[in-house]
Amino acid sequence: MPAKVKWSIAFGIGIVLLWFGWMVPIFLTTFHVALCVVLVFIILMQSGSATDLAGAFGGAGSQTAFGPRTAATFLTKATVWCSAMFMLTSLVISLHQVGPLPGVNSVLSQTAAPKTTQSAPAPTQPKPAARVVLEATFEVRTAVVYATFAVILVFLPIVTLSGIAGRLFAPMGIVYLAW
């Protein structure tokens, strides 16, 4: 069977799973989490192309940026499929969110929709600018905290590098963590 047919079948199965997940949101979330775990394990099971610093810059006996190209194994094909499905499930989950969450108030939801009819404007007091900024700050604080933790988790291993790699990359990690 040609490779294109195999990939078409694999992604067709993925689309069917996404459609079923759209109908049953708990399945989509469960599939997404399981996909994340499988993707992490598949990536960790693969061997690196080179283990020294020269390998990080393409010095593994080839002029390519990521080392020499090897034959596609089951793990590399599974990585491609799982990463594509991960992106698609992330997109579908974000599209499936309809309306605001219960109990969550947004600054934008407090603004009135433009009126199409001409009527006498009601005298209203505009909110002070400091109050609007404070409400907007409370609205985005959770996202900012999660993003900060993500940056710390990404750059913390860079700070712990030793040898020449540590001398090259540790200052960058420290700057990102301190900023």
**Pairwise pLDDT comparison (167 vs 112), residue with the higher score:** 167
Extended strands (E) in 32-156? none
Report the distance separating Cα 173 and Cα 179, nearest Å.
10
What pLDDT score does 102 carry? 60
State how far Cα 93 lies from the chain centre. Answer: 12
CA 71 vs CA 21, 75, 77: distances in Å: 34, 11, 10
Under the banding of pLDDT at 50, 70 and 90, the label for residue 66 is low
| pLDDT band (50, 70, 90) for residue 145 | confident
What pLDDT, on a 0 to 100 scale, did the predictor assign at position 4? 80
Q: Answer whether residue 123 shows pLDDT above 50.
A: yes
Using the predicted structure, report yes or no on whether residue 8 has a pLDDT greater than 80. Answer: yes
| pLDDT of 22 over the 60 cut | yes
**Candidate ranges 24-28, 33-37, 136-140, 149-153; pick with highest mean pLDDT:** 33-37
Cα dist. 119→55, 72, 111, 113, 114 in Å?
71, 69, 18, 14, 12
* Residue 103's pLDDT band (cuts 50, 70, 90): low
Q: Give the pLDDT confidence score for residue 63 in this predicted structure.
A: 47
The share of the chain scoring above pLDDT 70, in percent, equals: 69
The predicted structure's pLDDT at residue 71: 63
Residue 28 pLDDT > 70: yes
HEC states along the chain?
CCHHHHHHHHHHHHHHHHHHHHHCHHHHHHHHHHHHHHHHHHHHHCCCCCCCHHHHCCCCCCCCCCCCCCCCCHHHHHHHHHHHHHHHHHHHHHHHCCCCCCCCCCCHHHCCCCCCCCCCCCCCCCCCHHHHHHHHHHHHHHHHHHHHHHHHHHHHHHHCCCHHHHHHHHHHHHHHHHC
0.85 surpassed by pTM: no
Residue boundaries of the structural domains of the chain: 1-97, 128-179
